[in-house]
Amino acid sequence: MTVAEVICDSPIRGHGRERKPFDLPEEHVMTSSISSVVCGIGAYVPPRVVRNDDPAFSALDTSDEWIRSRTGIIERRWADPGTSTGDLAVRAAERALLNAGDRGVDLVIVTTTTPDHRTPSTAPAVAAQLGLGTVPAFDLGAACGGFLYGLATADVWIRSGAVERVLLIGADTLTTFIDPTDRSTAVIFADGAGAVVLRHGEGTEPGAVHRVRLGSDGALKDLVIVPAGGSRAPDPEVTEGRRRHSVNMQGKQLFQHAVSRMTESSRAVLQDMQWSADSVQAFIGHQANQRILSKVADLVGVSEESRFGNISRVGNTSSASIPLVMNEIDMQPGSKTLLTTFGGGAVWGSAALSWPILTPRKGN
């Protein structure tokens, strides 16, 4: 069995309450008493703006017209050499903690596919730089699915009663894994970080995470892959050069899987919640390609005015993609929010939450 669909409608363990079946009608879902609740958001992208006509792309057989029309990207942000994923993560997390108004957290999760080092993981160093003491801290790798996998993980930790507050950071410096001579990836991937603070709360509160559905299909692992540098092909055994240490992507096949998985998964979460597609007030998909996002939103039936994105300005920032958009928008607290993603693995996921109460946030 290569396809695993995990429904993270977490049981409420340790609190003497019953597990809720996932198809309960909305009024029951909304009155479930324990939930994780988003209470702070922050983001950071590096200052260097790289437009489609940047000299960095001049040796590539590409054009502004091709990139805009095929991907929706006009510009993206690149970290300067020497700036790591952890550096971006710290900046985004500082802003999220400030926005939450309380620096206390019991767990730090960094979702990334470009960690600072192969070992140790990036999260402990980020926690230390933030002055968060000796709280547990770990990395979670799920490529462009990272943020929703992290959200599900944070949600389960909080609902279990193991922790009260979690700092979840999605951060990537994809440019460190890109072959600058490969036009099919060099113009797409970019750098950034987004963070949310989640706290223990009530399912009826604005910001409550209602549902997260995750899935994977390892049979598709070669569609977007860095072939060398891991245990299957460690550096000393590799002779094929830079390409094998960079992201290799089969875009056309990924496109089709991304559309079908994000659509199915979004529909399933809507059904879980008994939400109609046109009742969704904020729809945020992983910013991989504007054509994918529009197609998924059309197929799901989400209205034009509830679609939010920033791919034209930031490109594909992998784990940072969804929280970067969340940081940019202001919705009425309690607004029905649907998140969806698809990425290397292949992995996918969707989440339903209500829009949080947030104090004004700092941009870049």
Interaction between residue 251 and ligand COA (CB under 6 A) = yes
| Complete DSSP assignment for 124-173 | HHHHHHTT-TT--EEEE--GGGHHHHHHHHHHHHHHHTS-SEEEEEEEEE
Q: Which of 146, 344, 349, 356 binds ligand COA (CB under 6 A)?
A: 344
Interaction between residue 65 and ligand COA (CB under 6 A) = no
Tell me which amino acid residue 100 is: A
By beta-carbon proximity to ligand COA, the closer residue of 323 and 343 is 343
- How far is the C-alpha of 191 from the C-alpha of 181, rounded, in Å? 18
Q: Which of 343, 347, 352, 361 binds ligand COA (CB under 6 A)?
A: 343
CB-based contacts of 54, cutoff 8 Å, min separation 6: none
Interaction between residue 83 and ligand COA (CB under 6 A) = no
Establish whether 99 is a catalytic residue.
no
Establish whether 39 is a catalytic residue.
no
By beta-carbon proximity to ligand COA, the closer residue of 44 and 342 is 342
| E strand residue ranges, 181-310 | 191-201, 209-217, 224-225, 248-249, 282-285, 307-308
Of 8-16, 21-29, 181-189, 326-334: span binding ligand COA (CB under 6 A) = 181-189
Record the tokens describing residue 65, joined without a space. 């017209």
Interaction between residue 325 and ligand COA (CB under 6 A) = no
CB-based contacts of 2, cutoff 8 Å, min separation 6: 217, 218, 219
Interaction between residue 193 and ligand COA (CB under 6 A) = no
Strand partners, 331: none
| Complete DSSP assignment for 69-117 | HHH--SEEEEPPTT--HHHHHHHHHHHHHHHHT----SEEEEE-SS-SS
Which residue of the set 144, 210, 289, 310 is catalytic? 144
By beta-carbon proximity to ligand COA, the closer residue of 22 and 255 is 255
Interaction between residue 99 and ligand COA (CB under 6 A) = no
By beta-carbon proximity to ligand COA, the closer residue of 71 and 175 is 71
Contacts with ligand COA by CB under 6 A: the residue count is 22
Interaction between residue 289 and ligand COA (CB under 6 A) = yes
Interaction between residue 48 and ligand COA (CB under 6 A) = no
Strand partners, 11: none
Interaction between residue 100 and ligand COA (CB under 6 A) = no
Q: Which of 176, 184, 248, 312 binds ligand COA (CB under 6 A)?
A: 184
Instruction: Give percent helix, percent strand, percent coil of the chain, each to the nearest 5.
Output: 35, 25, 40
Contact map string, positions 215 to 234, toward ligand COA, x by CB under 6 A: ---------x----------
Which residue of the set 286, 289, 310, 327 is catalytic? 286
Phi and psi (nearest 5°) for 102?
Answer: -155, 120
- Which of 213, 138, 131, 167 has its CA nearest to residue 38? 167
Q: Which of 236, 252, 304, 360 binds ligand COA (CB under 6 A)?
A: 252
Pairing of strands 307-308, 282-285: parallel
Between CA 127 and CA 362, with CA 113 as vertex, the angle to 5 degrees is: 55
Interaction between residue 66 and ligand COA (CB under 6 A) = yes
Interaction between residue 347 and ligand COA (CB under 6 A) = no
Q: Which residues bind ligand COA (CB under 6 A)?
A: 62, 66-67, 70-71, 144, 183-184, 187, 224, 251-252, 254-255, 258, 288-289, 292, 316, 342-344
Catalytic residue positions, numbered: 144, 286, 316
